[in-house]
Amino acid sequence: MEFRTEIEVAPARFKISTDSKIMTVGSCFSEVIGGQLTDNKLQCLCNPYGTVFNPSSIFKLISHSLQNQPVFKHLMLENNGIWQHYDFHSKFYAHSKEELERELNLTHRKVNQFLRKANFLVITLGSSIVYQLKENSQIVSNCHKTPASNFKKEMLNVKEIILRFRSMYEALKMQNNKIKILLTVSPVRHTRETLQLNSVSKSILRTACYHLEQDFNDVHYFPSYEIMMDDLRDYRFYKADMIHPNEQAEQYIFEKFANTYFTEDLNGFLKEWNKVKMSLNHRPIQTDTPAHQKFLTDLLEKLDVLSKKIDVSNEIEIVRSQLIAA
């Protein structure tokens, strides 16, 4: 008797290999995927704009980076001597307008350079609900705790999301015709908007993703939302806030992701790399014993072999620093 409904992920039309370049962007779940990719030594630019929930802001930021468009100065705001920007996450701040402008334009250039050579763009959509500034009807990525009276709340519809995606897609393909796009809907519930509105919001995102996958041969949908809602439908897979997937759930979803998109060579490498990671995380009580020194020497040899495939220079330096000169 089966006591769970495991999600069968559709086979991918393209695969990620050890030399693939991947950018993740979108909601906080993009941080999870990007962090896992980086931790497993893949070349990943992880959520360069910070957390961005709504598709309109995600597509706008990517488009501006691709076009090397300077940030909109009229969307900068100052609060108690700190400057921020409505298009960007609150992690971007400065003590002057000019300093913030330089940092944000540098971020756009960094993304532009990466996307020109990237193989994959992973987009995690978090919410269909957007906030518009009343003064100019601009959709913002982050309200930065300014008064709610400054904004008008709206719900994007499927048509709007598809049109805005298409505009971003065309700009992306002009710069890099070979890049593939992986879409997913964040499994994190947005309870601030009520669970009822969260359900409506997620259904719009999922419907938009369905049509985008049908319309574009190089767009593929990964069901992280469905895996969390239907496969891991138990609160033991959530953090204490009962909203975010816990570490066990994140690892499970990433393993599904790897099984779907990674080549056999990459999956084989990951098994090898995970063994090395366990050795790197080993913390002995005594470090100067002959047994531990031999352990370090053997580990260094394994890292030297891996260095022909990936950059493990930091790990090699750490291990060498623990070796006692004979």
What per-residue confidence (pLDDT) applies to 54? 97
**Dihedral sign of CA atoms 276, 277, 280, 284 in order:** negative
Whether the Cβ atoms of residue 44 and residue 310 lie closer than 8 Å to each other: no
Provide the pLDDT for residue 192.
85
Burial class of residue 134, CB neighbours in 10 A (0-12, 13-18, 19+): exposed
- Determine the pLDDT at residue 196: 94
- In order, the DSSP letters of 137-154 are --EES--TT--GGGEEEE
Give me the amino acid identity at 313. Answer: S
What pLDDT does 153 receive?
Answer: 95
Q: Cα–Cα distance between 39 and 33 in angstroms, integer?
A: 10
Looking at residue 325, its pLDDT comes to 65
DSSP for 177-230, written as a single string: TT-EEEEEE-----GGG-HHHHHHHHHHHHHHHHHHHHH-TTEEE--HHHIIII
* pLDDT computed for residue 323 by the predictor: 86
Query: Is residue 235 a contact partner of residue 248, using CB atoms and an 8 Å limit?
Result: no
pLDDT recorded at residue 182 = 97
Q: 206-245 pLDDT, tens per residue?
A: 999 999 999 999 999 999 999 999 999 899 999 999 999 9
Q: Given 3-state DSSP classes, what are the helix, strand and coil percentages for the chain, each rounded to the nearest 5?
A: 50, 15, 35
Mean pLDDT per segment of 10 residues, for the chain of length 326 residues?
80 92 95 93 96 97 94 92 96 96 97 98 97 95 94 97 98 97 94 91 98 96 95 92 93 94 92 89 82 89 87 90 75
pLDDT at 200: 96
Residue 197 pLDDT = 94
Beta strand 43-46 pairing with 21-26? parallel
**By the 8 A CB rule, do 220 and 181 touch?**
yes
Structure tokens at 120: 């994959």
